[in-house]
Chain A
């Protein structure tokens, strides 16, 4: 298991968005993906904060792209999931699925 323990809810969302997006993952598509799936507005600043924490833990790696005019001369920072990150996501998934399983209150949409 990785050093940081289980992923938090938002960190897990970011990691899953990264896995879905592959090599094209930077701030905008990551936040759009989370918004699309969760139906809630996402603060891109919070996405960066989560990515920073994940990068410190070695679960995510990043590299700077080239500056572009349409972004006001700012470069994109591309993120990708590392092997440790994938392992951590699987670990969290196993733990959550195990906790989820066998809960009648959460089966079939009953309140």
Chain B
């Protein structure tokens, strides 16, 4: 019997991302084919195709649950391009209100935080736009994290058929969000609401 082994990383990825209850024998099929003379490149292609297929199936199945995530990511993206979010009309009312409530103040501050306005505020004794922008950002990240935790909990408890692999991916995203919130919070705490004298622009700065 030919007992050559397929690429370990491809097997690892396939077993974690490409197998479901329905297609579990796929791993055995790929191994059988590989041992009958297929190349490692063939195995990699098959593993990637299997993963892509399963991901596509899961996305189609869970598309309603993913709405809040898409809205969150969309809001993040649109905030960067303020004129674009004027065109956003097809979002459910609640999410729309939530997204606008959260990111509009942040976006407006981003728009008006021009170099000129920053300089005007700097040294005037008022709290800087940058500081408020960071406050809003941290608030937004906190709410975002809250909804993401709710989403993960919903998936974990309400949909037990969701494979552990995808839960792991969600947890990784969760960790990423926690890290992002932590980073922004630290940045906020280290920034000074009232700019220090050292940060004031020198005379003659246009």
Contact = CB atoms under 8 A, between A and B. Distances in A.
Interface of A: 26-28, 31, 41, 43-46, 48-49, 52, 64, 67-77
Interface stretch (B26-34, B104-112, B141-149, B152-160): B26-34
B1 interface: yes
A62 B42 CA distance: 26
Interface of B: 1, 18, 22-33, 35, 42, 45-46, 49-54, 57
Q: Is the interface of B mostly helix, strand, loop or mixed?
A: helix
B22 A52 contact: yes
A27 B23 CA distance: 9
Contacts of A75: 25, 28
Nearest to A28: B29
Given A27-B26, A48-B23, A49-B57, A70 B46 contact: no
Nearest to A73: B28
Contacts of B18: 45
Contact of A70 (B35, B52, B57): B35
Contact of B45 (A28, A43, A67, A73): A43
